Amino acid sequence: MPADDSSLFGPDNLPYGVFSVEGQDPRVGVRLGEEVIDLARLFEDPRFDQPSLNAFMASGYEAWVEVRRQLQQRIADDALPVEARFPLSEVRLHMPMEVADYVDFYASEHHASNLGRLFRPDAEPLLPNWKHLPVGYHGRSGTVIVSGTDVRRPCGQRKAPDASEPTFGPSVRLDIEAELGFVVGTGSRLGEQVSTADFERHVFGCVLVNDWSARDIQAWEYVPLGPNLGKSFATSISAWVVPLLALTAARCELPGQDPTPLPYLREEQSWGLDIALEVAWNGQVVSRPPYRTMYWSPAQMLAHMTVNGASARTGDLYASGTISGPEKEQRGAFIELTWGGEEPVTVNGEERTFLVDGDEIAITASAPGANGSRIGFGEVRGTIQPAPCES
């Protein structure tokens, strides 16, 4: 039967993922409503009979366009065979791609300003370089995990402001960062720069990201080289990759950049995206971060990543950094939402600041789709488990 066009996962979306059913190997599918379409069976194409999207993504932009066209035509013709359709409730979802490299940016002016005020109350909130380049750090691809995977509370060194020496133990200021991630489909050669104009030919699609953050470990380690163990223990992503081709209607202008970026960062038409996120803490929505307020675009991030000649590879993941808007209820990290723990929020009747063991965080999102529809990103969900160390 034809798909329900009112669904967040109708034919205007068609996000890709990797799924399996009992007794069979993982393979590539797309979500259509409450079903998963088995692309290996539908197209008899070996690129889809794989445990990741990498082979298909590496085939390039023209292939992405053609497969999407054929899919939408089959749906319109009600020509999806029964043997290629599986109820979503009966499949297991896996990591959608093999992550090559992982870079995390810091692209929200509201988030960066809030943290500047928290950490440097007597100085300018933004450091001098912030409006000249997309600030980022290189993370660990090996600890990127799929939605639904539990997160173990990390251990490490932390130093209280009034202490003379650091101590070792479980993080006591465990936080989230609600972000949008971009998956590179086709890479670039070493020494080659990817321009902002070539963004959509290199980036296959988007995922939701929760970059779990141990703020106490981070605060002690990050000077002078930046985030390391406070970030590298886990980064969760959604199981569905929304193709960039589905986000044409969500494209919007950036809020404005002053000063004008250097030439390699300029865009003829900006790749701002009107994507609305929700953060639920133990089932209660506590924040609604708006991606449309981000200062730097994903095209500018990719251009900056490669301007020094660094190569991009199929499966590279780069994330936006915490998405925060101008209002308190739009802050995408709990360090902001609770103002460093000084302004607790009420979650299910209890005052809370940072995460405790057993807490579950779910981040969801939607965006305008073609023909007046809305499209969904699924969710990125994780539950905090106790630390493996002793203090």
To the question of whether residue 222 is assigned a binding role by annotation, the answer is yes
pLDDT of residue 59: 98
The stretch 271-284 carries a mean pLDDT of 98
Sorted by where each starts, the structural domains of the chain and their CATH numbers stand as 6-94 (2.30.30.230), 101-385 (3.90.850.10)
To the question of whether residue 193 is assigned a binding role by annotation, the answer is no
To the question of whether residue 16 is assigned a binding role by annotation, the answer is no
Residue 121 CA, chain-centre distance (Å), reads 29
Pairing of strands 350-352, 345-347: antiparallel
To the question of whether residue 131 is assigned a binding role by annotation, the answer is no
pLDDT of residue 6: 53
Residue 168 CB coordination number (10 Å): 11
Indicate which residues carry an active-site annotation: 111
pLDDT in tens, 199-222: 999 999 999 999 999 999 999 999
Q: Given pLDDT bands bounded at 50, 70 and 90, which one contains residue 20?
A: very high
To the question of whether residue 45 is assigned a binding role by annotation, the answer is no
Residue 4 clears pLDDT 90, i.e. is over it: no
Pairwise CA distance, residues 306 & 190, whole Å: 9
Residue 334 clears pLDDT 70, i.e. is over it: yes
Q: What is the DSSP string of 286-335?
A: EE--BGGG-SS-HHHHHHHHHTTS----TT-EEE------SSGGG-SSHH
Instruction: Provide Rg for the chain, Cα atoms.
Output: 21
Report yes or no: 30 and 9 within 8 Å, Cβ to Cβ.
no
To the question of whether residue 137 is assigned a binding role by annotation, the answer is no
> What's the chain's average pLDDT?
96
Dihedral, CA of residue 50, residue 55, residue 57 and residue 62, to nearest 10: -120
- From the list 272, 206, 277, 208, the residue with the least C-alpha distance to 242 is 206
pLDDT of residue 244: 98
pLDDT of residue 3: 42
Pairwise CA distance, residues 55 & 50, whole Å: 8
Task: Return the H-helix or E-strand segment holding 271.
Answer: none
The stretch 241-258 carries a mean pLDDT of 97
Residue 5 clears pLDDT 60, i.e. is over it: no
Q: 169: phi > 0 → left, psi -120 to 50 → alpha, else beta; which? A: left
Pairwise CA distance, residues 73 & 80, whole Å: 10
Residue 179 clears pLDDT 50, i.e. is over it: yes
Pairwise CA distance, residues 203 & 184, whole Å: 4
Residue 48 clears pLDDT 60, i.e. is over it: yes
- The model's pTM is 0.97
Pairwise CA distance, residues 55 & 27, whole Å: 11
To the question of whether residue 295 is assigned a binding role by annotation, the answer is no
pLDDT of residue 246: 98
Residue 153 clears pLDDT 50, i.e. is over it: yes
- From the list 108, 99, 137, the residue with the least C-alpha distance to 277 is 108
pLDDT in tens, 162-173: 999 999 999 999
pLDDT of residue 2: 39
To the question of whether residue 322 is assigned a binding role by annotation, the answer is yes
* Beta-bridge mates of residue 232: none
pLDDT in tens, 351-383: 999 999 999 999 999 999 998 899 999 999 999
To the question of whether residue 192 is assigned a binding role by annotation, the answer is no
Burial class (CB in 10 A: 0-12, 13-18, 19+), 258: exposed
pLDDT of residue 345: 97
Pairing of strands 317-319, 102-105: parallel
User: Which residues neighbour 295 within 8 Å (Cβ) at sequence distance 6 or greater?
Assistant: 107, 108, 109, 131, 254, 255, 257
Report the percentage of the chain scoring pLDDT > 90. Answer: 93
